[in-house]
Amino acid sequence: MKTKLSALQTWVDQVASHTLPDAIHWCDGSDAEYQQMIDKMLDDGTLSKLNQHTYPNCYLHRSDPTDVARVEHRTFVCTGEKDDAGPNNNWMNPADGHAKVDALFAGTMKGRTMYVIPYCMGPIDSPFSRCGVEITDSPYVLINMKLMTRMGKKALQRIEKEESFVKGLHSTGDLSPDRRLIMHFPEELLIKSIGSGYGGNALLGKKCHALRIASFQARREGWLAEHMLIVGLESPTGETHYVACAFPSACGKTNLAMLIPPDSLPGWKVWTLGDDIAWLHLGDDGQLRAINPESGYFGVVPGTNEKTNKNAADMIKRDTIFTNVATTADNEPWWEGKTDGEPAIDWQGRPYDPANGKAAHPNSRFTVAAHNNASYSSLADAPEGVPISAIVFGGRRKELAPLVYEARSWEHGVLVGAGVASETTAANVGEVGIVRRDPMAMKPFCGYNFADYWTHWLSFADKSEHLPKIFHVNWFRQTPDGKFLWPGFGENLRVLEWIIDRCENRVGANETPIGYLPNPDDINTTDLDISADALAALTSIDRDQWRTEMESVGEYLDSYGDRLPKALKHQQERVTADLT
């Protein structure tokens, strides 16, 4: 007996008798265990050392070239009723789902060690945290979980005390893309994932648990599990506001979460609470409070440099696992957007040849513990979380969406979130750059019917008078010849400053049918190199384009049928009418 919790022991035994591992290792989460895994992976070649002088304790993992991103088309939510999963999810009935995936798991761990990883999503002593156990045959998963979650002994103790946990079963299987399945059984608090060793497909605490399963639990229990960064903004006068932002995958969450204020905005400090996931609870005082269930980052590498994200550039110079980056002749990691060095070997281990495409995979990632980040907030470990002043939705839109606008009310804000659309990115297997609806940046991650999810969001309006204000931003507007209109990165603080000032009712705005936009003068442009034309374009709307957009949002909402909350449709009709 490795645990006194019989439900856990029984499940581990059952999995072992089905998957037939050579050995079972219960993870304690110690540094020694981490090092042992690193050594084992160095031995078997699944990890290689990077230059230890310039990148101490940094390693490179190359995943299978067909296994480099999430696979939404192979991801399923298996609920008893199809409508409970909704048109936003792929669905299988639970019996078929189990049968299909269990067949793939039979004997899959032969010749391998099975690792049992107890983990806690959120501070170990927070009432808002939830625990899980991931069973995996991948040492890569184990080392990533060590950097990104609170795992091991303490998590197991909490699980044994609470006697409840999310079960996550994972095997890399044979890595064949057509035998890859990421299955969720929310009614059983169960995940079964096979055939991928990559990121969100395999690190089950992250998207599978902390978003798909947790969103399902959150609806039942009255809270929200969201694809949001959490950032603290300390102004020159010393007041700190916390903001939670939902942007789709590879649309700027990590960058915004660790933003460095530009020199022209002296006195500001920015604190990172989280870069990908927020769990939000309404406090007794009516304030929405957030915790970050994770304790590390699985971040997009390309584009990271001293100018765009110095905190990230610094923190990944040590103690970091790199996945699918290139290397230089000096064996340093290299990626597109890195300002020094040149690629010698590409992400697949071949001599770099531009004819083969990019040197680093566009979805190459770093894994690093949160405390490596110089802007890490100590409040990220606070059991009670932080109070949220503003919720910000956003997307990657070359056209249409202005730099920033504010919703008129919570209900209107839910429409703004539900209407988010964004160009697809390399974070999922599939075409890149296609605009698709990605409500609340949760299209790939909501574990139940979006119609019910919007009803749940709307229900908060009746529960509190102190809800955050809701905004929408777009850092990605372009000129017709493909140049970004807004400088982005650190300069995004100027937009956050307007957002905070709106929350405090101390700055102006221009009321339009889609919400409140800043007047060009309302944005602090001290020492900012931007033309009046660019700023005017960023702070205005094209009514014709917007009418078309709102009609399209209306059609999208209608596709949810009778379950769609009337209040949401009413908001869409009102905005559309105002544009006519």
**Catalytic residue list:** 251
Q: Which helix (H) or strand (E) holds 496?
A: helix 493-503
Alpha helices in 264-368 (DSSP H): 310-315
Choose the stretch contacting ligand SPV; rule: CB under 6 A; options: 11-19, 200-208, 308-316, 321-329.
Answer: 200-208
Smallest gap, in angstroms, from Cβ of residue 363 to ligand SPV? Answer: 8
150 to 179, contacts with ligand GTP by CB under 6 A? Answer: none
Q: Does 134 bind ligand SPV (CB under 6 A)?
A: no
Single residue of 300, 316, 391, 579 touching ligand GTP by CB under 6 A: 300
Q: Does 393 bind ligand GTP (CB under 6 A)?
A: no
Q: Please, which contacts does 33-37 make with residues 24 or more away whose CB atoms are closer than 8 Å?
A: 33/146, 33/152, 34/143, 34/146, 37/139, 37/142, 37/143, 37/146
Please work out the total of residues on this chain that contact ligand SPV, with binding judged by CB under 6 A: 9
Amino acid sitting at position 138: S
Of 506, 266, 498, 293, give the one whose Cα is nearest residue 402: 498
> Could you give the angle at which helices 450-459 and 410-418 cross, rounded to 10 degrees?
160
Contacts of 450 (CB under 8 A, 6+ apart): 86, 87, 88, 418, 439, 442, 560
Q: Does 276 bind Mn ion (CB under 5 A)?
A: yes
Token duo for residue 35:
């090092």
Q: Does 494 bind ligand SPV (CB under 6 A)?
A: no
**201-218 burial, b if ≥16 CB within 10 A, otherwise e?**
bbbbbbbbbbbbbbbbbb
Residue 398: burial class (beta carbons within 10 Å; 0-12, 13-18, 19+): middle
Q: Measured from the CB atom, is 395 or 565 closer to ligand SPV?
A: 395
297 to 316, contacts with ligand SPV by CB under 6 A? Answer: 298
Q: Does 245 bind ligand GTP (CB under 6 A)?
A: no
Smallest gap, in angstroms, from Cβ of residue 474 to ligand GTP? Answer: 10
Single residue of 276, 406, 423, 501 touching ligand SPV by CB under 6 A: 276
Token duo for residue 164:
């409840």
64 to 123, contacts with ligand SPV by CB under 6 A? Answer: 70
Q: Does 475 bind ligand GTP (CB under 6 A)?
A: yes
CA distance 333 to 367: 13
Minimal CB distance residue for ligand SPV: 200
Question: What's the residue count for the chain?
Answer: 580
Q: Measured from the CB atom, is 361 or 412 closer to ligand GTP?
A: 361
Choose the stretch contacting ligand SPV; rule: CB under 6 A; options: 122-130, 198-206, 388-396, 498-506.
Answer: 198-206
Single residue of 86, 200, 262, 565 touching ligand SPV by CB under 6 A: 200
Q: Does 252 bind ligand GTP (CB under 6 A)?
A: yes
Choose the stretch contacting ligand GTP; rule: CB under 6 A; options: 14-22, 48-56, 116-124, 485-493.
Answer: 485-493
Q: Measured from the CB atom, is 415 or 429 closer to ligand SPV?
A: 429
3 state DSSP class of 502: helix
Q: Does 427 bind ligand SPV (CB under 6 A)?
A: yes
Residue 152 contact, options ligand GTP, Mn ion, ligand SPV, none, Cβ 5-8 Å cut-off depending on partner type: none
Single residue of 62, 253, 281, 397 touching ligand GTP by CB under 6 A: 253
Smallest gap, in angstroms, from Cβ of residue 462 to ligand GTP? Answer: 31
Q: Measured from the CB atom, is 150 or 206 closer to ligand SPV?
A: 206
Q: Does 255 bind ligand GTP (CB under 6 A)?
A: yes
* C-beta neighbour count of 106 within 10 angstroms: 11
CA distances from 169 to 137, 295, 304, 520 (A): 9, 21, 33, 52
CA distance 306 to 176: 38
Residue 105 contact, options ligand GTP, Mn ion, ligand SPV, none, Cβ 5-8 Å cut-off depending on partner type: none
Please work out the total of residues on this chain that contact ligand GTP, with binding judged by CB under 6 A: 22
Smallest gap, in angstroms, from Cβ of residue 124 to ligand SPV? Answer: 22
CA distances from 379 to 171, 242, 454, 496, 532 (A): 35, 11, 29, 20, 40
Residue 224 phi/psi, 5-degree rounding, is -130, 135
Single residue of 126, 249, 323, 474 touching ligand GTP by CB under 6 A: 249
Smallest gap, in angstroms, from Cβ of residue 297 to ligand SPV? Answer: 9
Residue 3: burial class (beta carbons within 10 Å; 0-12, 13-18, 19+): middle
Smallest gap, in angstroms, from Cβ of residue 20 to Mn ion? Answer: 34
State the sign of the Cα–Cα–Cα–Cα dihedral 545, 549, 551, 555.
positive
Q: Does 206 bind ligand SPV (CB under 6 A)?
A: yes
Contact predicate 188/206, CB 8 Å: no
**501-535 burial, b if ≥16 CB within 10 A, otherwise e?**
bbbeeebebeebbbbbbbebebbbeeeeebeeebb
Smallest gap, in angstroms, from Cβ of residue 200 to ligand GTP? Answer: 8
Residue 329: burial class (beta carbons within 10 Å; 0-12, 13-18, 19+): exposed
Q: Measured from the CB atom, is 27 or 228 closer to ligand SPV?
A: 228
Q: Measured from the CB atom, is 136 or 272 closer to ligand GTP?
A: 272
442 to 471, contacts with ligand GTP by CB under 6 A? Answer: none
3 state DSSP class of 314: helix
433 to 462, contacts with ligand SPV by CB under 6 A? Answer: none
Q: Does 381 bind Mn ion (CB under 5 A)?
A: no
Q: Does 423 bind ligand SPV (CB under 6 A)?
A: no
**Which parts of this chain interact with ligand SPV (CB under 6 A)?**
70, 199-200, 206-207, 249, 276, 298, 427
Residues near ligand GTP, by CB under 6 A = 247, 249-255, 275-276, 299-300, 302-303, 308, 427, 475-476, 484, 488-489, 492
- List residues near Mn ion by CB under 5 A: 249, 276
